[in-house]
């Protein structure tokens, strides 16, 4: 069990490409943190630097009390689960799990106990003598987890461990990993591009884009107060809608208008927008916070022409457009909307996120 | 649609013929293959039978007469050849000399090629590709071109250091290893590039150093390639005449190929010795082939990743 600190961690490849730019994260002992971001954002590179598989260009990695920048992977007290599982194909499941312990000259009896225990947790007891080639994808993934567990490392590193599994197995294995985390109380760093995975598993989530850390926080914090437009759009499914609105200040009364949309801000929002002096702002609102019908008083109203309606059961997912902006909303099935309808969708002021259209930083919300 | 219709028809029409039908193309292929196999085997069978017939019979009738008179077969040729024992110039001595050259060459080429390939594929030093390309370039270098330069190099070393390499088994081994390595490295390197790097990274995290990774992960996975390389190498060196002829000159011990070559005469060759010796020289590579054959298992990498 250990705290992991990334201090200005930077990776620049030989060609000059900057993969990770001054990453600062303090991961608490026993915490489950997810690194999430689109493909190529540098999250895997960051993980590989922590593992010792990639050289650090500058900055520092501390695991526990030690700076590990120059330690080989085996001396960092970590275990890693690879996206491809990376099981040794010529060894049995038992040997795959025991390999790391054998190399550490652990007594045979202790190895057997550790392997049996891990196999029991992961329900692999029947497969111990099989080769990885004789197992299904889900079973292989569990062997890869088992190989990490038997080592009892202070930090678990997981690189998109579920992305090769089908949807059902993914949900099962997700729960399995969460259980293992509770049981072992180990620090886990989990890399994924799937924000749903990150939201459901992580104690905290670090959102990374283009090598730069965008925001670290609990899933709730990221959902409710995204610090910039990228985080707002990345977290949540379906993603947040954005529209640009022009600010008009008539005698101190602020109104925001777009083509087919209008926002009447409440007092706090008015003050902020007035003080910012901006003449355009980007307003974000989540599909699940939209309601059919106009609102009286402060709030946002968008007139949308519907072009696709997806039935979800209790709700419907409607896609439409409002003067060039695509708008998605989840509304009650009772509204009985049809393709081609033109409806007003509205959101309360506390559901709105306002971003500076230039810096993309958050101005106000909630 | 037609299948649905056919299924709904009453089952009185034609009975299923398919199981008994052999496609004509199949027959043609089999006949051609059998013909090729027989054509290929006739000389070998001929040599085998000649070696089993009395020496005198060779000039009286063809080997195929055995088909009608099998009683003439005898092991006397083998007995005569083996009775010389391990004397220099005898067939058993040649057999040992051939083995003394071929076994070390095969082991050295396979081991050195595997290690070099590991470094070329998984090492982290600059210029790996250039070195590999140089090695590939050496593949096209004909062996004959090097005979005289290497012979004079051996002599030069002998003259300056007193270390006698020319005319010794060691000299032949060094020459064969040097000329076996480019192909060996090429083969092993290309096979190793198919091994996922993830496996080595997993090994590094598990605590393995480079040597352990090679021995416990890469070498077992590369066994099929190493086995093919060993077989090729063994057979090439075993069948070599040219290098032995140049570098074993004046040595009392000779290889099997030299022994057989020595039995050819301008007017009347010792066919009974040649055929018997040839049979002995066929047996060894066959043993090697069948011993390593089980490593040609397909799909050794199955289940490594994904």
pLDDT band (50, 70, 90) for residue B20:
low
Which residue among A89, A103, A104 sits closest to B303, beta carbon to beta carbon? A89
For residues A204 and A301, state if they share a domain: no
Question: Residue B2: is its pLDDT beyond 50?
Answer: no
Residue B250 vs residue A210, higher pLDDT: A210
pLDDT band (50, 70, 90) for residue B9:
very low
DSSP codes of every residue in A317-339: EEEEEETTEEEEEEEEGGG---T
Closest CA to A83 of A18, A173, A172: A173
Provide the percentage of residues in chain A whose pLDDT is more than 70: 99
Bridging pattern class, strands A187-192 and A32-36: parallel
A90 close to B (CB below 8 A): yes
> What are residue A321's DSSP bridge partners?
A305, A326
- Pair of tokens at residue B38: 């027989």
> Residue B260: its pLDDT value, please?
84
Count of all residues that appear for chain A in the document: 366
Strand runs labelled E in chain B: none
Averaged pLDDT, B109-138: 93
Given a contact cutoff of 8 angstroms between Cβ atoms, the answer to whether A356 and A229 are in contact is: no
The average confidence (pLDDT) of chain B is: 83
Domain boundary among A234, A254, A269: A234
pLDDT tens, position by position, A315-357: 899 999 887 889 999 998 888 888 988 999 999 988 999 998 8
Cβ contacts of B105 within 8 Å, gap of 6 or more: B173, B176, B177, B180, B233, B237
> Residue A128: its pLDDT value, please?
93
> Are A52 and B204 within 8 A, CB to CB?
yes
> Residue B266: its pLDDT value, please?
63
pLDDT tens, position by position, B216-231: 999 999 888 898 899 8
Which residue among A80, A99, A164 sits closest to B306, beta carbon to beta carbon? A164
DSSP codes of every residue in B57-112: HHHHS-GGGGGT-GGG--SHHHHHHHHTTT-TTSHHHHHHHHHHHHHHHHHHHHHH
For residues A292 and A314, state if they share a domain: yes
Provide the percentage of residues in chain B whose pLDDT is more than 70: 88
**Domain map (residue ranges) of chain B:** 23-74, 86-295
CATH superfamily, domain at B86-295: MetI-like (1.10.3720.10)
Mutant choice from A80, A86, A131 vs B, greatest count of B C-beta within 10 A: A86
Which residue among A73, A103, A132 sits closest to B303, beta carbon to beta carbon? A132
Cβ contacts of B207 within 8 Å, gap of 6 or more: A74, A100, A103, A104
pLDDT tens, position by position, A183-205: 888 899 999 999 889 999 999 99
Given a contact cutoff of 8 angstroms between Cβ atoms, the answer to whether B176 and B167 are in contact is: no
Chain B residues close to A140, C-beta within 8 Å? 303
CB-count burial class (<10 Å; 0-12, 13-18, 19+) for B31 = exposed
Which residue among A53, A85, A89 sits closest to B300, beta carbon to beta carbon? A89
The average confidence (pLDDT) of chain A is: 90
pLDDT tens, position by position, A261-308: 888 888 888 888 888 888 899 999 999 999 998 878 888 999 999 999
Chain A residues close to B122, C-beta within 8 Å? none
CA gap A104, A153 in Å, rounded:
13
- Please report, for the domain that includes residue A210, its CATH number: 3.40.50.300
With a CB-CB cutoff of 8 Å, which residues 116-135 of chain A face chain B?
A: 131-135
Residue B47 vs residue B56, higher pLDDT: B47
For residues A137 and A246, state if they share a domain: no
> Are B303 and A104 within 8 A, CB to CB?
no
Residue located via tokens 């000329």: B179
CA gap A261, A320 in Å, rounded:
13
Averaged pLDDT, A219-244: 92
Question: Residue B115: is its pLDDT beyond 90?
Answer: yes
Given a contact cutoff of 8 angstroms between Cβ atoms, the answer to whether A249 and A260 are in contact is: no
Q: How far is B123 from chain A (nearest CA, A)?
A: 13
> Residue B8: its pLDDT value, please?
41
Provide the percentage of residues in chain A whose pLDDT is more than 90: 59
Averaged pLDDT, A109-122: 92
> Residue B19: its pLDDT value, please?
58
> Residue B3: its pLDDT value, please?
40
> Residue B228: its pLDDT value, please?
86
Report ipTM (2 d.p.).
0.83
Residue B57, Cβ neighbours under 10 Å: how many?
19
> What are residue A329's DSSP bridge partners?
A318
Domain boundary among A182, A204, A234: A234
Most confident of the following: A111-115, B11-15, B300-304: A111-115
pLDDT band (50, 70, 90) for residue B22:
low
DSSP codes of every residue in A159-207: ESTTTTS-HHHHHHHHHHHHHHHHHH--EEEEEES-HHHHHHH-SEEEE
For residues A146 and A16, state if they share a domain: yes
Instruction: Point out the least confidently predicted range of A117-121, A167-171, B244-248.
Output: A167-171
**Over A37-73, what HEC string results?**
CCCCCCHHHHHHHHHCCCCCCEEEEEECCEECCCCCH
Phi, psi of A53 (to 5 degrees): -90, -10
Count of all residues that appear for chain B in the document: 306
Q: How far is B287 from chain A (nearest CA, A)?
A: 26
Given a contact cutoff of 8 angstroms between Cβ atoms, the answer to whether B135 and B182 are in contact is: yes
Given a contact cutoff of 8 angstroms between Cβ atoms, the answer to whether A127 and A93 are in contact is: yes
> Residue B11: its pLDDT value, please?
41
With a CB-CB cutoff of 8 Å, which residues 148-207 of chain A face chain B?
A: 151, 164
Q: What is the SS3 assignment for A106? A: coil
Question: Residue B72: is its pLDDT beyond 80?
Answer: no
Averaged pLDDT, A43-61: 94
For residues A84 and A167, state if they share a domain: yes
Q: Structurally, how many domains does chain A consist of?
A: 2
Given a contact cutoff of 8 angstroms between Cβ atoms, the answer to whether A10 and A57 are in contact is: yes
Residue B2 vs residue A42, higher pLDDT: A42
Given a contact cutoff of 8 angstroms between Cβ atoms, the answer to whether A210 and A41 are in contact is: yes
pTM to 2 decimal places: 0.80
Domain boundary among A234, A255, A281: A234
Can you give the residue range of the structural domain that contains A333? Answer: 241-365
Chain B residues close to A84, C-beta within 8 Å? 196, 198, 304-306
Residue A72 vs residue A164, higher pLDDT: A72
pLDDT band (50, 70, 90) for residue B304:
very low
Q: How far is A86 from chain B (nearest CA, A)?
A: 5
- Pair of tokens at residue A114: 């550790």
CA torsion A335→A341→A342→A343, rounded to 10°?
0
For residues A60 and A160, state if they share a domain: yes
> Residue B81: its pLDDT value, please?
81
Closest CA to B204 of A2, A192, A106, A48: A48
- Pair of tokens at residue A257: 């208008």
Bridging pattern class, strands A155-159 and A18-27: unpaired
- Pair of tokens at residue B250: 């004046």
CA gap A227, B202 in Å, rounded:
36
- Pair of tokens at residue A290: 């939209």
Chain B residues close to A79, C-beta within 8 Å? 205
Given a contact cutoff of 8 angstroms between Cβ atoms, the answer to whether A233 and A239 are in contact is: yes
pLDDT tens, position by position, B79-112: 888 887 777 778 888 899 999 999 999 999 999 9
First-last CA distance in chain B:
39
> Residue B130: its pLDDT value, please?
95
Residue B89 vs residue A10, higher pLDDT: A10
pLDDT tens, position by position, A150-168: 988 999 999 998 888 888 8
Q: CA nearest A162 in B: which residue? A: B306
> Are B301 and A53 within 8 A, CB to CB?
no
- Pair of tokens at residue A15: 């060609």
Question: Residue B4: is its pLDDT beyond 70?
Answer: no
User: Distance between alpha carbon B42 and the CA centroid of its chain, in Å?
Assistant: 21
For residues A216 and A256, state if they share a domain: no
Given a contact cutoff of 8 angstroms between Cβ atoms, the answer to whether B231 and B289 are in contact is: yes
Q: Which residues in B have their CB inside 8 Å of a CB on A?
A: 196, 198-199, 201-208, 212, 216-217, 220-221, 299-306
pLDDT tens, position by position, A217-230: 999 999 999 999 99
For residues A76 and A182, state if they share a domain: yes
- Please report, for the domain that includes residue A318, its CATH number: 2.40.50.140
For residues A253 and A221, state if they share a domain: no
Question: Residue B299: is its pLDDT beyond 50?
Answer: no
Averaged pLDDT, B181-202: 92
């Amino acid at each position: 069990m250990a705290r992991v600190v990334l201090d200005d961690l930077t990776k620049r490849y030989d060609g000059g490409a900057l993969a990770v730019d001054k990453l600062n994260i303090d991961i608490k002992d026993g915490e489950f943190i997810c690194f999430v971001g689109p493909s190529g954002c540098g999250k895997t590179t960051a993980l590989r630097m922590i593992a010792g598989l990639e050289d650090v260009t500058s900055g520092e990695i501390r695991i526990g009390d030690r700076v590990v920048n120059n330690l080989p992977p085996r001396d960092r007290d970590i275990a890693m689960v690879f996206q491809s599982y990376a099981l040794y194909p010529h060894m049995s499941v038992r040997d795959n799990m025991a390999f790391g312990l054998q190399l550490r000259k652990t007594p045979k009896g202790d190895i057997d106990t550790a392997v049996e225990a891990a196999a029991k947790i992961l329900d692999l007891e029947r497969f111990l003598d099989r080769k990885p080639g004789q197992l299904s994808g889900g079973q292989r993934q569990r062997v890869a987890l088992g190989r990490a567990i038997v080592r009892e490392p202070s930090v678990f590193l997981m690189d998109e461990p579920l992305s090769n599994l089908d949807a059902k197995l993914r949900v099962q294995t997700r729960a399995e990993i969460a259980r293992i985390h509770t049981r072992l109380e180990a620090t886990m760093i989990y890399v994924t591009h799937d924000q749903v995975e990150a939201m459901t598993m992580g104690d905290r989530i670090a959102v990374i884009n283009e090598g730069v850390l965008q925001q670290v926080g609990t899933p709730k914090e990221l959902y409710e107060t995204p610090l910039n437009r990228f985080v707002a759009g990345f977290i949540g499914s379906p993603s947040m809608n954005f529209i640009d609105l022009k600010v008009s200040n008539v005698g101190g009364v602020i109104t925001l208008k777009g083509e087919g949309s209008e926002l009447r801000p409440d007092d706090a929002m008015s003050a902020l927008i007035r003080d910012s002096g901006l003449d355009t702002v980007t307003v974000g609102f989540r599909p699940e916070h939209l309601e059919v019908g106009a609102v009286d008083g402060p709030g946002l109203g968008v007139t949308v022409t519907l072009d696709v309606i997806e039935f979800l059961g209790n709700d419907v997912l409607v896609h439409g457009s409002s003067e060039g902006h695509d708008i998605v909303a989840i509304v009650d099935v009772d509204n009985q909307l049809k393709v081609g309808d033109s409806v007003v969708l509205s959101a309360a002021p506390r559901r709105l996120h306002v971003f500076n259209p230039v810096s993309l930083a958050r101005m106000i919300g909630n | 649609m037609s299948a649905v219709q056919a299924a709904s028809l009453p089952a009185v029409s034609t009975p299923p013929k398919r199981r008994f039908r052999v496609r004509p193309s199949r027959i043609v292929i089999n006949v051609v293959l059998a013909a090729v196999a027989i054509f290929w085997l006739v000389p070998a069978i001929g040599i085998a039978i000649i070696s089993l017939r009395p020496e005198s019979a060779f000039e009286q009738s063809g080997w195929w007469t055995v088909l009608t008179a099998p009683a003439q077969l005898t092991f006397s040729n083998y007995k005569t050849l083996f009775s010389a024992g391990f004397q220099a110039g005898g067939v058993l001595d040649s057999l040992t000399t051939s083995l003394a050259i071929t076994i070390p060459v095969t082991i050295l080429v396979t081991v050195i090629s595997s290690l070099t390939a590991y470094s070329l594929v998984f090492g982290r030093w600059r210029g790996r590709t250039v070195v590999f390309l140089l090695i590939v370039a050496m593949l096209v270098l004909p062996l004959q071109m090097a005979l005289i330069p290497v012979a004079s190099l051996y002599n030069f070393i002998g003259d300056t250091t007193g270390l006698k390499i020319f005319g010794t088994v060691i000299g032949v081994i060094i020459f064969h290893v040097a000329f076996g390595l480019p192909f060996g490295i090429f083969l092993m390197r290309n096979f190793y590039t198919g091994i996922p790097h993830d496996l080595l990274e997993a090994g590094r995290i598990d605590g393995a150093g480079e040597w352990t990774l090679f021995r416990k992960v890469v070498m077992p996975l590369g066994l099929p390639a190493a086995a093919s390389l060993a077989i090729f190498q063994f057979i090439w060196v075993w069948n070599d005449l040219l290098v032995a002829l140049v570098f074993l000159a004046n040595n009392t011990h000779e290889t099997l190929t030299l022994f057989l070559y020595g039995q050819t005469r301008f007017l009347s060759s010792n066919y009974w010795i040649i055929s018997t010796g040839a049979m002995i020289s066929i047996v060894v590579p066959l043993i090697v082939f069948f011993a390593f054959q089980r490593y040609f298992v397909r799909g050794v990498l199955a289940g490594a990743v994904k």
